[in-house]
Amino acid sequence: MTYCFYVCVCFCLVIFQTTIIPHIPLFNNFYDLLIPFIIYLGLFRPAHEGILFILALGFLMDNLSGGPFGLYLTTYFWLFIVVKLVIQYLHARNNILLLFIIVAGVLMENIIFIAGVSMSDPDSQFFAITIRTVVFQILWAGCTGFFFITFLNHIHKKLEKWFNGLIAEKS
Amino acid sequence: MFSKKMVIIVGAVALIVVNIIILSVNSSRYSSYGSGRTAIFFIAPFQKTVTKSVQFFKNIWGHYFFLVSVAKENDNLKKAINQATDKNNKYREVEISNFRLRNLLNFRKTMTNKVLVAEVVGQDPSPWFKTIIIDKGKSDGVEKGLPVVVPEGIAGQIIDISRNYSKVLLIIDRNSAVDALVQRTRARGLIKGQSDGRCLSKYVLRKHDVKVGDTVVSSGLDGVFPKGLRVGCVTEIVKRNSGIFQEVTVTPYVNFEKLEEVLVVLGSPKHDFVSKQ
């Protein structure tokens, strides 16, 4: 059930990100929607449940993207690890800290991507547009990421409750 | 002397005549003789009340009960307008796509190689990389490395294929490179993508004459893109104090944000190296 939910959410997010978002001018510099999902897995789900899924997701995104292979895999894996480490020391379920983690996650992805691009093309120049892209992504993440994670958590809990009830009824 | 009957008849006739005379006199000018005012004074308030009540109920009927049918009619009209707008929009969309496809067809006729029309179905999930997914793959004869073009110019190159879909690396991606020439002076350079949606023509010799507004076309020497396809126009030139090259910024003719259909050029470009000796 849980994996089914993960697959559905990821499928919807990937489709939305690759087909709808590029056509909306307002979302030109929107952040990677899978980041909040990975943070959610890191914060609220056990490690063994999320890690394989995250690797598969990174693999999928690397296949869809035109960037050097492994960028998404690296980003998602390390983001998951960092989130898992953070919640060992800090009470990350605090709302403000959650917001900070989302912003940090988006920033981390961008840094890894810029580093990846620089590695693949050392001559590449980064213009003001690069900074603008990063700033806009962070702003978007700050504005919407928290609600996104909260919504995911809520839906997942509801689904789990419903599914458990269904099983209990049948047995 | 006169019988009683006779008196009654004469009296009646006289009354009729007087009545007719009074009527004929009154009909020529208005006169109320003061009684009208009194009547109005007493009757008018009731008239007013009744009239107002009637008006009130009439208004209720007119503006409320009757409005139910008006609202229904309004709903129907709205529906009809929506349908008409939708239809109009569809026609407009068909007209636009008809124009676009005709354009594509005309361009296709000018191509010497066999080409395949493909539709863009997805874009890169990251803003850092510029790739698209098209709905033609291995089963349609698409191969890795084939050039992808549109009537406006070069769009990109196939970098990955599956059975029914392919991934195209656009020329505005940092990893893309196209061997190109400035059409006017034949100055050669390597077109590389930049993060701002423009391209940079690298390795253009400083001595070559390049001006803003010059058209840049593919040279065909990279073995990927057919020769003579438009790439973009020169929008900026930077000549540094040192170095043997000049930096030429090229803005692609293709609007990559509005890419819907593309042409995959099947088969490698044929170079005609037969000498005319």
Any A CB within 8 A of B249 CB:
no
Q: Looking at the partner chain, which of B125, B128, B160 has a beta carbon nearest the beta carbon of A117?
A: B128
Number of H helices, E strands in chain A: 7, 0
User: Which pLDDT score is estimated for B274?
Assistant: 42
Q: What pLDDT, on a 0 to 100 scale, did the predictor assign at position B43?
A: 60
Look at the block and give the residue holding tokens 């991606």. Answer: B173
Residue A131 covered by a domain: yes
pLDDT at B244: 87
Rounded to two decimals, the ipTM of the complex is 0.72
- pLDDT of B118 strictly over 80: yes
Select the highest-mean-pLDDT range: A163-167, B57-61, B163-167.
B163-167
Question: Which sequence spans correspond to the domains of chain B?
Answer: 42-110, 115-265
* Percentage, residues of chain A above pLDDT 90: 6
Q: Are A9 and B120 in contact (CB under 8 A)?
A: no
| Residue A2 falls inside a structural domain | no
Confidence of residue B170 (pLDDT cuts 50, 70, 90): very high
**Placement of tokens 């819907």 in the chain:** B260
Q: Tell me the sheet residues that pair with B156.
A: B148, B170
Q: How big is chain B by its Cα radius of gyration, in Å? A: 45
pLDDT at site A93: 64
pLDDT, tens only, A58-83: 888 888 887 777 888 888 988 998 88
Kindly state the average pLDDT of the residues B2-26.
Answer: 78
CB contact under 8 A, A19 and B123: yes
Res. B224 pLDDT band, cuts 50 70 90: confident
The three state secondary structure string of B188-208 is EEEEEECCCCCEEEEEEECCC
Q: CB A19 to CB B128 under 8 A?
A: no
Between residues B36 and B181, which one has the greater pLDDT?
A: B181
Interface test with A, best of B171, B172, B174, B203 (most A CBs within 10 A): B174
- Residues B265 and B148: beta-carbon distance below 8 Å: yes
Question: Nearest-CA residue of chain B relative to A128?
Answer: B196
Taking the CA of residue B56 and the nearest CA in chain A, the distance in Å comes to 53
Per-residue exposure over B74-85, b if at least 16 CB sit within 10 Å of its own CB, e if not = eeeeeeeeeeee
The answer to whether B127 contacts A114, with C-beta atoms less than 8 Å apart, is no
3 state DSSP class of B173: coil
Over residues B50-88, the pLDDT tens digits come to 667 767 776 777 677 767 777 888 888 988 888 888 888
Assess whether pLDDT exceeds 60 at residue B277. no
Q: Please report whether residue A106 resides in a domain.
A: yes
Which CATH number is correct for B115-265, 3.40.50.620, 1.10.150.120, 3.40.50.880, 2.40.10.340? 2.40.10.340
pLDDT, greater one: A7 or B68: A7
pLDDT at B273 > cutoff 50: no
Instruction: Please compute the mean of the pLDDT values over residues A51-59 and round it to a whole number.
Output: 87
Give mean pLDDT, residues B136-155: 89
| A142 within some domain | yes
Exposed e or buried b per residue across A115-131, where buried means at least 16 C-beta atoms within 10 angstroms of its C-beta: ebbeeebeebeeeeebe
- Residue range A35-47: mean pLDDT, rounded: 87
Q: Rounded to the nearest 5°, which phi and psi values hold at A131?
A: -65, -40
- In the block, which residue shows the tokens 């030139």? B237
Residues in contact with B131: Cβ distance below 8 Å, sequence separation at least 6, in sequence order: A65, A66, B123, B124, B156, B159, B167, B168, B169, B170, B173
Q: How far apart (Å, rounded) are the C-alpha atoms in residues B254 and B151?
A: 8
User: How many residues are there in chain B?
Assistant: 277
Say which residue, A17 or B37, is predicted with more confidence: A17
DSSP-assigned states of every residue in B125-138: SSTTS-EEEES--G
Percent pLDDT > 90 in chain B is 12
Q: Count structural domains, chain A.
A: 1
The answer to whether the CB atoms of A17 and B175 lie below 8 A apart is: no
Out of A84-93, B88-97, B106-115, give the one with best mean pLDDT. Answer: B88-97
Neighbours of B138 (CB within 10 A): 14
B126 with A32: Cβ contact below 8 A = yes
In this complex, the residue of B159, B192, B194 whose CB is nearest that of residue A66 is B159
**A87 within a domain of the structure (yes/no):** yes
Check pLDDT > 50 for residue B270: no
Strand-pair category, B261-265 with B199-205? unpaired
Distances (CA, A) of B191 to B174, B219, B229, B263: 10, 11, 13, 20
Choice between A5 and A38, residue whose per-residue pLDDT is larger:
A38
Q: What is the mean pLDDT of chain B?
A: 80
- Structural domain range at position A104: 12-17+32-170
Least confident of A73-77, A127-131, A137-141, B187-191: A127-131
Average pLDDT over residues B154-161: 90
Asked if the structure places residue A110 within a domain, the reply is yes
Using the Cβ of A67 and the Cβ atoms of chain B, whether some distance falls under 8 Å is answered with: yes
- Is A70 an 8 Å CB contact of chain B? no
Residue B250 has what DSSP assignment? E
Identify whether A24 is part of a domain.
Answer: no
Residue B172 has pLDDT above 70, yes or no: yes
With cut-offs at 50, 70 and 90, classify the pLDDT of residue B251: very high
Percentage with pLDDT > 70 across chain B: 81
* Mutation to test the A interface, candidates B123, B134, B201, B255, most A Cβ within 10 Å: B123
A127 touches chain B (CB under 8 A): yes
Tell me the pLDDT band of B1, cut-offs 50, 70 and 90. low
* Cβ(B169)–Cβ(B131) below 8 Å: yes
Query: In the prediction, which pLDDT does B25 show?
Result: 66
pLDDT given at position B216:
92
Select from B133, B159, B175 the Cβ nearest to the Cβ of A120. Answer: B175
Q: Is the pLDDT of residue A40 over 50?
A: yes
C-alpha neighbours within 13 Å on the C-beta side of residue A42 = 26
Asked if pLDDT for residue B196 goes beyond 50, the answer is yes
A16-21: Cβ within 8 A, 24+ apart: A17/B125, A18/A64, A18/B122, A18/B123, A18/B124, A18/B125, A18/B133, A19/B121, A19/B122, A19/B123
By the 10 Å C-beta count (0-12 exposed, 13-18 middle, 19+ buried), A99 is classed as middle
More confident residue, A171 or B218: B218
pLDDT band of residue A56 (cuts 50, 70, 90) is confident
**Is B125's CB within 8 Å of A14's CB?**
yes
Q: Which of B213, B217, B230 is nearest to B187 (CA)?
A: B217
The pLDDT of residue B95 is: 81
- Stretch B83-97: mean pLDDT: 82
The beta-carbon neighbor of A121 closest among B130, B175, B196 is B175
Reading the block at residue A106, the tokens are: 């988006």
User: Which residue in the set B125, B169, B194 is minimally distant from A32, CB to CB?
Assistant: B125
Residue B28 has pLDDT above 60, yes or no: no
